[in-house]
Amino acid sequence: MELPDHDAPLLPVETPNSEPRQDRFGFPKGANAGTCLHSLFEHSDFQQQNEELNVLVDKTLSQFGIDTEWSATVSSWLEAVVTTSLDKQCGLTLRDLPPHQRLDEMAFCFPVTHLTTKRLKDTLLPFVADYPILNAIVKSLQFADLSGFMKGFIDLVFAQDGRFYLADYNSNWLGTRAENYQQAPLDEAMVAHSYPLQYLIYSLALHRYLKTRLPDYDPEQHSGGVYYLFIRGMHPDWGQAGVYFERPSSALLEALDVCMREVGDV
């Protein structure tokens, strides 16, 4: 089983203006544009500015068949995203992350045998009270029994102050105002695309990875949480607009670990 990371457009919160906009909200939508933006974040060191950043943007836009007339807009947009605070308390930004503290496009793959809807629902239900966003996900869960491999790529894994975080970039268009990227609309977007289930899979993959890499691994100490970054809404002047954060508990991670093990290993 592979969970694709599509930046599919939602039903818009507001009707897009028919006049073309030369800004982040007018930037092309869809899978190709989303992949282009993901590539930019993957290959940027978050420190690039001015000419160096412009060269990367021009090259990447051309690779994806997007007119380089967007270069100035995209360069300014990326600068805004990497300087937006991810955390109110410490003011962490992507720009604060040196290359040696990050891992881009981390691949994962682990076996799954006879994973059923009931088994996954029974695993998640005890945690709905602490994570209300899971309620809609659990109610809508429906899939054929799965056997095979769970595989995918995590956009970004980074370390900060002894904790490990993962981040996923999303270029979904939710509107053109800061309020369109606050907690309530972000929750709606997360549920609409089943992103909570996706981030649980990603969190489990990182959990298992850290178990093999850190001899003293303790999820309470080392697990930092998950950021879903809705980059169209991120700007330093907009606070935490566009930033969705959750930290799955060690109990939830361990329950998922048991649920996803091969039958006979439990």
Active centre residues (catalytic): 168
Cβ atoms 112, 149 nearer than 8 A:
yes
d(CA 86, CA 97): 12
What is the token pair recorded at 40? 């930019």
Which neighbouring-strand residues pair with 148?
112
Rounded to whole angstroms, the maximal C-alpha distance in the chain is 59
What is the spatial order of strands in the sheet that 223-230 belongs to?
A: 102-115, 146-160, 163-170, 223-230, 243-246
**How distant is the alpha carbon of residue 198 from its chain centre?**
9
What totals of helices (H) and strands (E) does the chain contain, helices first?
9, 5
Cβ atoms 186, 244 nearer than 8 A:
yes
Q: In the chain, which ranges are continuous DSSP H helix?
A: 31-43, 50-63, 71-82, 117-124, 133-140, 183-192, 195-213, 219-222, 250-260
d(CA 217, CA 202): 17
